[in-house]
Amino acid sequence: MQHITLYDTTLRDGTQGEDVSLSVDDKLRVARALDDFGVDIIEGGWPGSNPRDGEFFVRARELNLRHARLAAFGSTRRAKNRPQEDPNLIALLAAETPVVTIFGKSWLLHVHDALHISEQENLDLIADSVQFLVSHGHEVIYDAEHFFDGYADDPVYAMKTLQAAVQGGAGIVVLCDTNGGSLPDRIVRGVRNVRETLNLPVGIHTHNDGELAVANTLAAVSAGAVHVQGTMNGYGERCGNANLCSIVPNLQLKLGFHCVDPERLAGLTDLSKYVAELANLSQGKHLPFVGQSAFAHKGGVHVSAVMKNTATYEHIDPSVIGNRRRVLVSDLSGRSNVAYKAQELGIDLEEKSDAAQRIVDEIKMREHDGYHYEDADGSLELLIKQQMDTRREFFELGGFRVLIHKESTDTAPVSEALVKVRVGSEVEHTAAEGNGPVNALDNALRKALDKFYPSLRRMELDDYKVRVLDGFDGTGAKVRVLITSKDAFSSWNTVGVSNNIIEASWKALVDSIYYFLMKQSVPEEAAARPAVDEVCVQSLRQEIPPRSKEVP
- Do 62 and 43 lie in a common domain? yes
In a domain, 505, yes or no: yes
CA distance 136 to 158: 27
In a domain, 551, yes or no: no
Burial of residue 18, with CB atoms counted within 10 A of its CB: 0-12 exposed, 13-18 middle, 19 or more buried = exposed
Domain boundary pick from 260, 287, 309 = 260
- Do 376 and 400 lie in a common domain? no
- Do 305 and 241 lie in a common domain? no
- Do 423 and 516 lie in a common domain? yes
Q: Tell me, what amino acid is at 400?
A: F
- Do 335 and 440 lie in a common domain? no
In a domain, 274, yes or no: no
- Do 27 and 82 lie in a common domain? yes
Burial of residue 89, with CB atoms counted within 10 A of its CB: 0-12 exposed, 13-18 middle, 19 or more buried = buried
- Do 435 and 309 lie in a common domain? no
- Do 416 and 344 lie in a common domain? no
- Do 334 and 410 lie in a common domain? no
Q: Tell me, what amino acid is at 69?
A: R
CA distance 7 to 262: 18
- Do 300 and 188 lie in a common domain? no
In a domain, 266, yes or no: no
pLDDT in tens, the chain (552 residues): 899 999 999 999 999 999 999 999 999 999 999 999 999 999 999 998 889 999 999 999 999 999 999 999 999 999 999 999 999 999 999 999 999 999 999 999 999 999 999 999 999 999 999 999 999 999 999 999 999 999 999 999 999 999 999 999 999 999 999 999 999 999 999 999 999 999 899 999 999 999 999 999 999 999 999 999 999 999 999 999 999 999 999 999 999 999 999 999 999 999 999 999 999 888 998 999 999 889 988 777 887 788 788 899 999 999 999 998 877 665 566 777 777 777 777 788 888 888 888 888 888 888 888 888 877 888 888 888 888 877 788 999 899 999 998 888 888 888 999 999 999 999 999 999 988 888 999 999 999 999 999 999 999 888 888 988 876 666 667 899 999 999 888 889 999 999 889 999 999 999 999 999 988 743 443 333 333 333 333 433 344 444 444 445
Contact 123, 150 (CB under 8 A): no
DSSP label of 250: I
Domain boundary pick from 368, 387, 406 = 387
Strand partners, 207: 241
Q: Enumerate helices (H) and strands (E) in the chain, giving the number of each.
A: 19, 16
Q: Which of 15, 47, 7, 50 is nearest to 279 (CA)?
A: 15
Provide the residue range defining the domain that includes 534. Answer: 396-541
Q: The domain spanning residue 508 has which CATH number?
A: 3.30.160.270
Indicate the number of domains in the chain: 3
Domain boundary pick from 214, 236, 260 = 260
Q: Which residues, 6+ apart, have CB-to-CB distance to 188 below 8 Å?
A: 219, 220, 222, 223
CA distance 97 to 91: 11
In a domain, 128, yes or no: yes
- Do 378 and 243 lie in a common domain? no
In a domain, 265, yes or no: no
Contact 265, 320 (CB under 8 A): yes
- Do 501 and 381 lie in a common domain? no
In a domain, 548, yes or no: no
In a domain, 83, yes or no: yes
Contact 295, 318 (CB under 8 A): yes
